[in-house]
A and B are shown apart, each in its own frame.
Chain A
Amino acid sequence: MSSTKLLTLKTSDGEEFKLDEAVAVKSQAIKNMVEDDCVSNAIPLPNVDSKTMTKVIEYWKKHSEEGVSKDQLNDFDKGFLEVHHSVLYDLLLAANYLNDKELVDVICQEVADRIKGKTPEEIRKEFDIKNDFTPEEEEKIRQENAWAFD
């Protein structure tokens, strides 16, 4: 008798996803619910929309596949992360909410790589962060760390 159980996940926009329990427990949050035995009905995920959930499941499935080499996984990850930053951030928030350390790790590295060469202004623009410094305050920080701004 097969021990694979199907779980139903319900996203914020009402869509339902059916997934093998063995795959879904990559999310520590879902794993906890399974262990606490509250998964008889659909698991509500109010913080994740269907578009993002589709991507997460795509990642989980690939990383659960048998016979995939490390190189193939790396290639997959590279392509998987080549998305617009808004998609990336939704993914990161979802991965964080679902508590999937491995996925959070991979996305954080990608975001870090994207930030690396940017100026503070470029970072703010890309991530929609408000500059709450006065020009004097910002200048002071620049002076204190002058070598970093060369």
Chain B
Amino acid sequence: MSDFPLDVVAEILCRLPVKSVLRCKCVSKSWLTLIDSPEFANLHLNYSLKLKTANSNLFLILRKVDYYGYGKRCFYSLHFDSLNSRVVTPKELTNPLLSSEYNTKVVGSCNGLLLISNTVHDIALWNPSTGKYKKLPVLGIGDNPVHVSFGFGYDVINDDYKVVRIVQFSGSEKGSFRSDVKVYSLKSSCWRGVDEQLPYFLRYVDQPGVYLNGSLHWVASAKMEIPANKLEPLIVAFDLGTEKWGLVPRHRYTDTGFIVNLVVLGGSLCVYKTYFVDSYDYSSGNVDLVLDHVDVWEMKEYGVKDSWTRVASLEQPDKQLGHTVVPLAYSENREEILVEQDNRRFLWTSIVGDSIKIVDTQNGTLRGFLHFNSYVYLGSLVKFGSNDDKSDLNKQYNQDKGGNRKARKKRMPF
């Protein structure tokens, strides 16, 4: 193989999961140069993207919710294949924004890059597979916003990665609102404003923009009114190429009493509707709202209203504890959906039958996790261009307080 043309070597290596590719960097200098090239990163990424439900290169990032003080490691990665094994052991990741004051959040995931944030001013792009990251310049918000939401995705037209920040304020008249939308382009490494107005009010702002096919999607309504569930939630889309807003047609809702969220499953935009019911608690005498079931609808053909199909109706195995059910991904054979339940465990729920398999995360190091949020990401080698943040991760730990012990272990130096 020493006399293989490098483009043939590339064809072989691009089929490997990212972990194997990284090991191949040690094979020889020509292999290292090949793997480090942006062309190869794209080849590898495009190959991964073509396999819509093949999970050999898919990971979950777990953000441990720590009530007892931040500054501890909070990001862990879990490979999809390991969800089928007996003992599930997530790997600790080095958090580029590690801070003793904040529990860093994930607010975007696209092509193997994550957008993470401590505050609305302290955000960064991060590739957990390579460890490289890039902090975004600080951008002012304005006074007294109602809420701030982020989205991150790939602009297909301009071959650029963009971060979108939406800030919404109450307007002068009752019930009116105004929006301020800014876009950060990786190519230009700076923020700028978007002219076109966003005429919709975002709902469920703790859900960041969902990326699919060059656009970011949010759930929104035409008016800023409370209670929110009286209004039919719309799906609003921001085209990262044209930087214009539009609506994605949704299926007709014939009922009420649910919360709507967006997710991408198997390469399609999906909506999951969480239904709650009143539940009488005999011991306390209270009536609580309890999660009853979750319906998952898939838009089989993007933009086509009639293509919305209900693909699953998920019920909880033990109704007393239910608050949140978050669908994450299809299984390889599309017969099951991986779901995060109550921020504390994973379940494979069958679409074709009634079975539910609990992923045993109580063994291994997840036992110490009281609660976590999880997000899907692809293993990729995508870089941030020549503007990679070159700050030394070790130096950063020494500056921040707390969580210092591991600073000596050069896990992912820059």
Contact = CB atoms under 8 A, between A and B. Distances in A.
Interface of A: 89, 92-93, 96, 104-105, 108-109, 111-112, 115-117, 119-120, 123-124, 126-133, 138, 141-150
B226 interface: no
Interface string B17-34: 111101111111101100
B352 interface: no
9 contacts: A108-B12, A116-B20, A120-B27, A141-B32, A145-B130, A146-B411, A147-B411, A147-B412, A149-B23
Interface in B305-326: none
A26 to B, nearest CB: 18
Contact of B23 (A92, A112, A120, A130): A120
A112 B1 CA distance: 13
Given A143-B413, A146-B411, A109 B15 contact: yes
A60 to B, nearest CB: 20
B131 interface: yes
A112 B25 contact: no
Given A112-B15, A116-B16, A116-B17, A133 B5 contact: no
A105 B8 CA distance: 10
Contacts of B253: none
Interface in B49-108: 91, 93
Contacts of B296: none
- Chain A interface mostly: helix
B282 to A, nearest CB: 49
A147 B23 CA distance: 10
A127 B31 CA distance: 13
Contacts of B11: 104-105, 108
B27 A123 contact: yes
Interface of B: 1-5, 8, 11-13, 15-20, 22-29, 31-32, 91, 93, 130-131, 410-413
A144 B26 CA distance: 11
A133 B20 contact: no
Contact of B29 (A105, A132, A142): A132
Contact of A108 (B3, B5, B8, B27): B8
A133 B26 contact: yes
Indicate the member of B3, B12, B13, B130 with the most A CB atoms within 10 Å. Answer: B12
Nearest to A114: B12
Given A124-B27, A130-B28, 12 more contacts: A89-B4, A92-B8, A93-B4, A93-B8, A105-B11, A111-B12, A127-B2, A133-B29, A142-B26, A144-B413, A148-B20, A148-B22
A129 B27 contact: yes
B241 to A, nearest CB: 30
Contacts of B27: 120, 123-124, 129, 131
B28 A131 contact: yes
Contacts of B24: 115, 120, 123
The 3 A-B residue pairs with the shortest CB-CB distance, nearest first, are A127-B1, A148-B22, A120-B26
A130 B23 CA distance: 16
A147 to B, nearest CB: 6
